Chain A
Amino acid sequence: MMVRIFVPDIPEFAPLLEGARKAGNCRVLKPEHGYWRIEADHEIRFERKALGLGPALWNSALTGGFRGRIVEYGRDVMRIESEAETAA
C-alpha cells in the first residue's frame, strides 16, 4: 500500500508540490488528467507554516482527493498514512 494525494494543477496548490519535493520521502508526478500526484510509501506530512499556506487553502489542501488515512490534520500539521500502516 502507499499514500497518494491528487493535487489539481492550479497555481494556489503549488506550495504542496514544493513541500513534497523538499520532504525527501515523497514522489511528485507531473500532471495527468489535470492532477499532480504526490506519493509516499508510508506517510505524507505537511506543515502549514512551512508551506506558507493561509488557513483557507490549508483546509482545502486535500480537495483533489487522496488515498490513505488522515491521522492528523490540525492548524499546522497534516499527516496521512497508508491504510496498511494504520491497520498494522
Chain B
Amino acid sequence: MSEELKLNGVHHAARPTWKLRETIEFYRDVMGLKLVHCVSARGWGPSRHPDFLHFFFESGAGSTIAFFFYLGDEQPERLVHLPEYDSDATHTAWRVETREQLLAWRERLESRGVPIMYQIEHEVVESIYFRDPNGYYLEIGRPLREFRAIDETDAALTLAAALKVEEERAARGETLSDIESVWKAKGALLEAQFS
C-alpha cells in the first residue's frame, strides 16, 4: 500500500443475526466484549427493507464486530451458516500477542461452556477455533512470527503459478482443480530464476 492511500486497520466486521438475545449474551457476557454502539432505525431504502438494530462490540485496537438484527425478518435458507469448510471460510480472526493470552481465552471460553473445536499451529499463527450462537466460525490467534520479504515474493509467485495454470486449463475448457499442478508450475518458474 502506498503512503498516500492506505487503510488503518478494521473499524467493524458485520454479520446478520436472527438470534438477538443469544448474540448479545455471547459477545457481551461470554466473551466479555464491551457493547459500544447500537443503531436502531426504521427500514430504509428498498421497500422490503425491515426496521433493524445494528450493534457493535469492541474487539481491540479500535476494531469492532457488529451485527444486524432485522425486526420481523425470517432467516433465509441461503444465509443459514453451515458448518462446512466453504461457509467457515467466512470468519473473523482476532489477534492476541502471546501464548498465555491465547490459553487464557481458551480457558475463559471453555469455562463458560463454549467448546474449542481446534487449537492449531499454522504457518504463521497459532489459533483456537470456536462458534458463536449463529454458528459463525471464530478464531483467536497469536502470530508466530512477522511476515518477511520472502513471504511477499513467495506469495506473488504462488499466485502467478495458479493464474498461469488456471489460464491454461480454461483454454482447454477445464478448471484448476488440484494444487499439485500449481506447485509444479511454480517449480518451473523458479527453475527459470535459478538457471
Contacts and interface: CB of A to CB of B under 8 A. Distances in A.
Interface of A: 4-6, 8-12, 32-35, 37, 54, 56-57, 60, 62-67, 70
Interface string B181-192: 001111111110
B149 to A, nearest CB: 7
Nearest to A53: B121
Given A60-B123, A67-B184, A6 B190 contact: yes
Given A34-B150, A63-B183, 7 more contacts: A54-B120, A56-B120, A64-B186, A65-B183, A65-B185, A65-B187, A66-B187
Contacts of B158: 63
A5 B187 CA distance: 8
B144 A12 contact: yes
Given A8-B154, A32-B194, A35-B190, A54 B184 contact: no
B150 A56 contact: no
Given A56-B121, A56-B123, A10 B148 contact: yes
Given A12-B144, A65-B161, A33 B121 contact: no
Interface residues of B, number: 28
A56 to B, nearest CB: 5
Contacts of A11: 145
Contacts of A70: 180
B191 A67 contact: yes
Contacts of B187: 4-6, 65-67
B149 A34 contact: yes
A66 B163 CA distance: 17
B117 to A, nearest CB: 14
B91 to A, nearest CB: 16
B183 A33 contact: no
Given A65-B187, A66-B183, A33 B123 contact: no
Contact of B183 (A12, A32, A54, A62): A62
29 contacts: A6-B186, A6-B187, A6-B190, A8-B150, A8-B151, A9-B150, A10-B150, A10-B151, A12-B123, A12-B144, A33-B190, A34-B149, A34-B154, A54-B120, A54-B121, A56-B120, A56-B121, A63-B158, A63-B183, A64-B186, A65-B184, A65-B188, A65-B189, A66-B183, A66-B184, A67-B184, A67-B187, A67-B188, A70-B180
